[in-house]
């Protein structure tokens, strides 16, 4: 059977026999994969051309597309487990890959609510450049007009694809996915369902299951390349002439020597000690240790070295190994026989200075599977007694169930040892001492992409050392590649081009569809609260009647709110302050502003549910007169939850409260939910 590629809108088999792919537990041939014969240059051009449909979609549309795809894949998720077992993954390993990957789609789909209903992003605040405010600047971000090329590792054939694609699709870029050939048959299985669903626009996804060959020869300045895998391979790809000469963004997430630290307070008998042992064992054996986030270095106080070695050995001894399709197996196989030999060679290099204290790389007891044909290996625990002197454990990674136990004298030395890995994806520390946590985190954060603090308070809900989260960055400095995958809006921006635009606030309002302060006001014809969502235009402004603030207003608000701060209620205490007399509460000023701008009768406005931002910029004293300019700042359409739901959208209004000198005294952005006229 041939593992297929998806190119130029169709499924195709590569030329020739290709590379044989094997069941990791039984050694049976699954199929053959090859990319020979694919016109990769045409695939790149096809993606860039067809990608226009993605680029034209708004963030709301792209987010709903991700949600629809996630729901579809979740409904059929069970079909992928039998395929995943062939990679050597257990059911729990497969859950992380399959449902974790689909979870990435859901998480990124929810990000749509943080974006305007536009194909582009208005990035950050506008900047007043000229004295009178007639010349301003604003950053926007637009989708790059290229293709995201994802070169993925073998350990997570589904999660590795979906974690990246969810972000580039939300940003408006198509993708070409190149999974590691070894486990590409699982990626192929899901991509077939994605393509068959027709949820993605044409050209949004292509798949290469064989060698990536010369794919980097065809990238250009609008493309983005991401790589997950070994640091050596990543550096080789990153130095490609096209990447350098065309300044192609290259995001590298490399396998790293992640570490976990037992805090000095986490002694035997404490909950943190037990949590630490559990976490290290789990990270050694989950996915048979084939995780870029797995714990490779274990640092413990020198006086607890024996205790940890014994406890960890006892925990590892309970690990049952074998074919993941058999009940009772807790650790499956490595992805292939070649991985077994690779791991053994790294263990041999590590044991030149470290002692083997648990397991045997040449002997493994299994419950099921073929020991001669399957890629099985025992968990291996090493002990390096001189970690400052002997550096192999900080430089050599055995990509399997292998960790090295090392002592430290004090917390400062623990930080030093953690840094000797020269950059990692993740580090963790088990401690219930807030001072220990702060000292370690602040000192170690420069060398790690993520730090997990393990303690009794978060243990029940913690996702663990090895679990990257879609809305937080996944990446790390130095050896870890220097890249950042995912990370919520930060991750989306990686696939977009930032551009500074300059001009008058009126013109920039029209370009961005985001009201720029100082821009011309549009006459709405009637109060904006009387207009449906579709009828409102950015820039439409209601200029209210005015109100003079009295001392009685301030006293009454203090009594109603119970806010008796001295500046509002005790004029004898104002000496040495910035206030000249009794000052109105900022929230009273905002409340008074609402009284001026609200149209009270029932209409399309359904509710007001909060503030995005609010600033009180000038004191308001009794006798001052305020007015309000209420301007449509931004509009975001919302989808209906079901047939019975009301069609509506979110409108952000700029509330500019000014005094009799026309100077702003308070400014805020309020969020309102407004009914759509068209309820279809």
Q: Any idea which residues carry the catalytic annotation?
A: 253, 292
Residue 1 three-state SS: coil
Q: Beta-carbon neighbour count of residue 555 at 10 Å?
A: 15
**132: which residues sit within 8 A by CB, 6+ positions away?**
none
Q: Say how far apart CA 20 and CA 358 lie, in whole Å.
A: 34
Q: Which helix (H) or strand (E) holds 242?
A: helix 241-245
User: Which two three-digit tokens encode residue 131?
Assistant: 């004295």
User: Which two three-digit tokens encode residue 239?
Assistant: 């130095």
Cα 52 to Cα 69, 71, 308: the distances in Å are 20, 25, 57
Packing angle of the helix pair 586-597, 551-561 (nearest 10 deg): 100
Residue 208 three-state SS: coil
The separation between the first and the last C-alpha atoms of the chain, rounded to the nearest angstrom, is: 48
Q: Which of 319, 346, 324, 335 is nearest to 375 (CA)?
A: 335
Q: What is the DSSP string of 546-595?
A: -EE--HHHHHHHHHHH----HHHH-GGG-TTSS-SS----HHHHHHHHHH
User: Which two three-digit tokens encode residue 574?
Assistant: 């104002």
Residue whose token pair is 């009178």: 132
Q: Say how far apart CA 348 and CA 392 lie, in whole Å.
A: 11
Residue 58 three-state SS: coil
Q: Say how far apart CA 515 and CA 539 lie, in whole Å.
A: 6
Structural contact between residues 353 and 311, judged by C-beta atoms closer than 8 angstroms: no
Q: Where does residue 635 rank: exposed (0-12), middle (13-18), buried (19+ CB within 10 A)?
A: buried
Cα 599 to Cα 595, 638, 671, 677: the distances in Å are 9, 23, 15, 18
CA dihedral 395, 399, 404, 409 (to 10 degrees): 50
Q: Say how far apart CA 324 and CA 420 lie, in whole Å.
A: 36
Q: Which of 206, 193, 184 is nearest to 3 (CA)?
A: 184
Structural contact between residues 39 and 206, judged by C-beta atoms closer than 8 angstroms: no
Q: What is the largest CA-CA distance in the chain?
A: 92
Backbone angles phi, psi at 636, to 5 degrees: -135, 115
Structural contact between residues 404 and 355, judged by C-beta atoms closer than 8 angstroms: no
User: Which two three-digit tokens encode residue 175?
Assistant: 């993708």
Backbone angles phi, psi at 143, to 5 degrees: -60, 140
Structural contact between residues 620 and 546, judged by C-beta atoms closer than 8 angstroms: no
Number of alpha carbons in the 13 Å side-chain half-sphere of residue 384: 27
Q: Say how far apart CA 179 and CA 166 lie, in whole Å.
A: 16
User: Which two three-digit tokens encode residue 255?
Assistant: 């396998």
Q: Beta-carbon neighbour count of residue 77 at 10 Å?
A: 17
């Amino acid at each position: 059977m041939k593992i297929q590629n998806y190119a130029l809108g169709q499924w195709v088999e590569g030329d020739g026999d290709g590379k044989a792919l094997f069941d990791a537990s039984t050694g049976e041939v699954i199929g053959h994969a090859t990319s020979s014969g694919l016109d990769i240059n045409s695939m790149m051009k096809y993606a860039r051309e067809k990608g226009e449909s993605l680029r034209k979609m708004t963030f709301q549309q792209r987010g709903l597309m991700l949600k629809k795809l996630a729901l579809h894949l979740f409904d059929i998720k069970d079909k992928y487990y039998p395929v995943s077992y062939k990679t050597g993954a257990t059911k729990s390993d497969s859950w992380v890959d399959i449902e974790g990957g689909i979870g990435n789609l859901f998480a990124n789909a929810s990000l749509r609510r943080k974006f305007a209903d536009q194909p582009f992003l208005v990035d950050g605040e506008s900047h007043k450049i000229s004295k009178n405010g007639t010349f301003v600047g604003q950053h926007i971000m637009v989708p790059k007009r290229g293709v995201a090329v994802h070169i993925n590792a073998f350990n997570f054939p589904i999660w590795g694809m979906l974690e990246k694609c969810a972000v580039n699709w939300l940003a408006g870029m198509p993708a070409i996915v190149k999974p590691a050939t070894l486990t590409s048959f699982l990626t192929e299985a899901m991509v077939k369902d994605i393509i068959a669903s027709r949820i993605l626009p044409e050209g949004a996804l292509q798949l290469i299951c064989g060698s990536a060959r010369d794919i980097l020869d065809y990238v250009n300045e609008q493309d983005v390349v991401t790589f997950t895998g070994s640091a050596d391979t990543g550096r080789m790809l990153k130095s490609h002439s096209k990447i350098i000469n065309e300044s192609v963004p290259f995001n590298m997430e490399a396998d790293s020597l992640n570490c976990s630290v037992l805090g000095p307070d986490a002694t035997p008998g404490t909950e943190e000690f037990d949590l630490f042992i559990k976490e290290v064992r789990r990270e050694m054996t989950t996915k048979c240790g084939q995780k870029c986030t797995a714990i490779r270095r274990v640092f413990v106080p020198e006086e607890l070295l024996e205790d940890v070695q014994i406890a960890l050995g006892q925990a590892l001894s309970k690990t049952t190994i074998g074919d993941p399709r058999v009940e009772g197996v807790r650790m499956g196989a490595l992805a292939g026989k070649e991985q077994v030999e690779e791991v053994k060679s790294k263990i041999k290099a590590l044991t030149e200075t470290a002692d083997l204290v648990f397991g045997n790389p040449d002997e493994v007891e299994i419950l099921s599977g073929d020991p001669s044909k399957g890629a099985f290996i025992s968990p291996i625990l090493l002990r390096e007694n001189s970690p400052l002197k002997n550096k192999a454990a900080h430089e050599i990674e055995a990509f399997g169930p292998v960790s090295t136990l090392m002592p430290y004298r004090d917390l400062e030395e623990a930080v030093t040892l953690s840094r000797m890995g020269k950059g990692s994806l993740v580090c963790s520390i088990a401690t219930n001492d807030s001072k220990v946590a702060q000292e370690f985190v602040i000192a170690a954060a420069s060398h790690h992409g993520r730090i997990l603090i393990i303690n009794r308070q978060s243990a029940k809900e913690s996702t663990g050392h090895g679990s990257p989260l879609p809305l937080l960055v996944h990446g790390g400095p130095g050896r870890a590649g220097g890249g950042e995958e995912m990370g919520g809006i930060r991750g989306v921006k990686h696939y977009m081009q930032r551009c500074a635009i300059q001009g008058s606030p009126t013109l920039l309002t029209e370009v961005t569809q985001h009201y720029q302060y100082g821009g011309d006001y549009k006459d709405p014809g009637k109060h904006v609260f009387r207009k449906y969502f579709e009828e409102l235009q950015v820039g439409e402004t209601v200029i209210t009647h005015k109100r003079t603030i009295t001392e009685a207003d301030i006293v009454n608000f203090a009594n109603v709110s119970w806010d008796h701060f001295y500046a509002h209620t005790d004029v004898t205490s104002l000496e040495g302050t910035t206030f000249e007399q009794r000052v109105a509460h900022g929230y009273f000023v905002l409340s008074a502003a609402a009284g001026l701008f609200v149209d009270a009768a029932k209409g399309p406005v359904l509710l007001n549910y909060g503030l995005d931002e609010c600033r009180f910029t000038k004191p308001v004293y009794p006798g001052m007169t305020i007015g309000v300019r209420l301007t449509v700042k931004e509009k975001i359409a919302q989808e209906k939850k079901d047939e019975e739901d009301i069609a509506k959208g979110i409108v952000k209004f700029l509330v500019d409260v000014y005094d009799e000198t026309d100077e702003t005294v308070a400014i805020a952005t309020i969020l309102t939910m407004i009914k759509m006229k068209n309820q279809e």
